[in-house]
């Protein structure tokens, strides 16, 4: 997909707009599976929270991927997309026992990350296969907002609580069929991840009837030219060797699992917005677009970097712009960024907009959420309509006291 394609799509579907390139998603999936081609059983479960459009779920499922879900609603989206329950793993955090039981009844693989729910579920449903999420206390990412394996994380059961887990399993006679970890996003150092993996292998030795070990994900993707990323090929070579060795020790061919979200869809996504106004102040040139952090919150929430291209003038001379939105708050996408000269009406393309972008969008300032388009084999397919005013108000109910006639005194 080139800039002309993106311009044509924007002209056809309007702005702001999310566009996803299916070919890039496929190539990332193939790259990951190729890296672990020496492992007999590999299971890729796409992290639905990254981008939950049903068409995307159908697409990754057509490659052979299952789904990693964190809410009962994501589970239902997966089922609606035609994914078999056995190809879905449910890894929630802080949800009720009722929700876990409801999902379990759907035939989905359950993954439990706290001792209290583990004991309650095991006591009531000892026959149901359960995976246990371990917190290895390893900081694999560099940002505490997106690293979930550190010691103060709310995610997972601490490795120091293994004796508690074993006591619960023994007392309930529950069926533990998987061990899981997720250390967080933007993993750079393969050796740190491999260190965390050794902790998971040591934990797995305590359980005799495992079917799989799930290593989560968190692989870093490049956000700009020359940016560093996780070396998937090196990681695949090293972890495959160690995993195969462990399976021999364990006496059983286990399945190696991963839950990539950002790795699969981040680089496939573009966010397209029109420039409403170019505003010069005493020290800054602002390019104000027809969007805000209601549509793309990552720069404000995580200080994340998204490369911004003026696809209406990609060869123009570069100037410095601060790209901002139309929300009545500070909603800055980029500060003093070199961008080809911008004029009002130009279309800006934000790269790496496939993961945690639309899925975190809101109606703040009563703005409509944008449309979504899937670019597949040279054609554009609308996969989510742009919201309208009816969408904003359809679930609002007028308070009954407004309907009462006031009787004059």
One-character DSSP codes across 386-403: PP-HHHHHTT----GGGG
Question: Which fold would CATH assign to domain 269-386?
Answer: Lyase, Ornithine Decarboxylase; Chain A, domain 1 (2.40.37)
> What is the average pLDDT value for the chain, to the nearest integer?
93
Note if the bond before 16 is cis, omega within 30 degrees: yes
Domain ranges within the chain, ordered by starting residue: 22-262, 269-386
Query: Which residues sit opposite 270 in a β-bridge?
Result: 19
| Residues in CB range of 242: below 8 A, 6 or more apart | 194, 197, 198, 201
Distance of CA 186 to the CA centre of its chain: 12
Task: Determine contact, residues 217/259, Cβ cutoff 8 Å.
Answer: yes
Each residue's pLDDT tens digit, 351-362: 999 999 999 999
Active site (catalytic) residues:
328
Confidence band for 138, pLDDT divided at 50, 70 and 90: confident
| Residues in CB range of 96: below 8 A, 6 or more apart | none
Confidence band for 167, pLDDT divided at 50, 70 and 90: very high
Query: Which residues sit opposite 20 in a β-bridge?
Result: 269, 374
Mean pLDDT across the stretch 69-87?
98
Task: Determine contact, residues 141/185, Cβ cutoff 8 Å.
Answer: yes
Question: Which fold would CATH assign to domain 22-262?
Answer: TIM Barrel (3.20.20)
> Residue 57's closest CA among 33, 75, 78?
78
pLDDT at 146: 39
What is the sign, positive or negative, of the torsion defined by CA atoms of 242, 246, 248, 249? positive
Residue 262 has pLDDT above 50, yes or no: yes
């Amino acid at each position: 997909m080139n800039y002309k394609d993106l311009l044509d799509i924007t002209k056809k579907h309007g702005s702001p707009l999310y566009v996803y390139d299916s070919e890039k998603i496929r190539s990332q999936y193939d790259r990951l599976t190729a890296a672990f081609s020496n492992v007999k059983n590999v299971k890729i479960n796409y992290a639905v929270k990254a981008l939950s459009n049903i068409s995307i779920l159908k697409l990754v499922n057509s490659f052979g991927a299952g789904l990693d879900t964190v809410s009962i609603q994501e589970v239902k989206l997966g089922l609606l997309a035609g994914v078999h329950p056995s190809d879905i793993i449910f890894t929630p955090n802080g949800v009720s026992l009722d929700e876990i039981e409801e999902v379990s009844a759907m035939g989905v693989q359950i993954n439990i990350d706290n001792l209290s729910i583990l004991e309650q579920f095991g006591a009531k449903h000892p026959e149901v296969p359960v995976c246990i999420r371990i917190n290895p206390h390893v900081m694999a990412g560099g940002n505490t907002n997106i690293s979930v394996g550190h010691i103060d994380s709310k995610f997972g059961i601490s490795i120091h609580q293994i004796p508690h887990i074993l006591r619960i399993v023994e007392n309930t006679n529950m069926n533990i069929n998987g061990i899981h970890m997720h250390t967080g996003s933007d993993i750079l150092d393969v050796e740190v991840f491999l260190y965390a993996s050794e902790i998971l292998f040591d934990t797995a030795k305590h359980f005799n009837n495992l079917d799989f070990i799930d290593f989560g994900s968190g692989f870093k993707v490049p956000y700009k030219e020359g940016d560093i990323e996780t070396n998937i090929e090196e990681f695949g070579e090293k972890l495959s060797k160690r995993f195969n060795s462990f399976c021999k020790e364990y006496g059983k061919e286990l399945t190696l699992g991963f839950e990539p979200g950002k790795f699969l869809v981040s680089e496939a996504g573009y966010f397209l917005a029109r420039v409403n106004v170019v505003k010069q102040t005493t020290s800054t040139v602002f390019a104000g677009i027809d969007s805000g952090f209601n549509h793309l919150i990552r720069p404000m929430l995580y200080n994340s970097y998204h490369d911004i291209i003026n696809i209406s003038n990609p060869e123009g001379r570069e100037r410095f712009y601060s790209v901002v939105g139309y929300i009545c708050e500070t909603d800055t996408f980029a500060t003093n960024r070199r961008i080809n000269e911008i004029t009002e009406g130009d279309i800006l393309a934000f790269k790496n907009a496939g993961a945690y972008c639309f899925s975190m969008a809101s109606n703040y300032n009563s703005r409509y959420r944008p449309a979504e388009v899937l670019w597949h084999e040279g054609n554009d397919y609308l996969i989510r309509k742009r919201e309208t005013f009816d969408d904003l108000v359809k679930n609002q109910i007028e308070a009954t006291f407004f309907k009462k006639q006031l009787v004059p005194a």
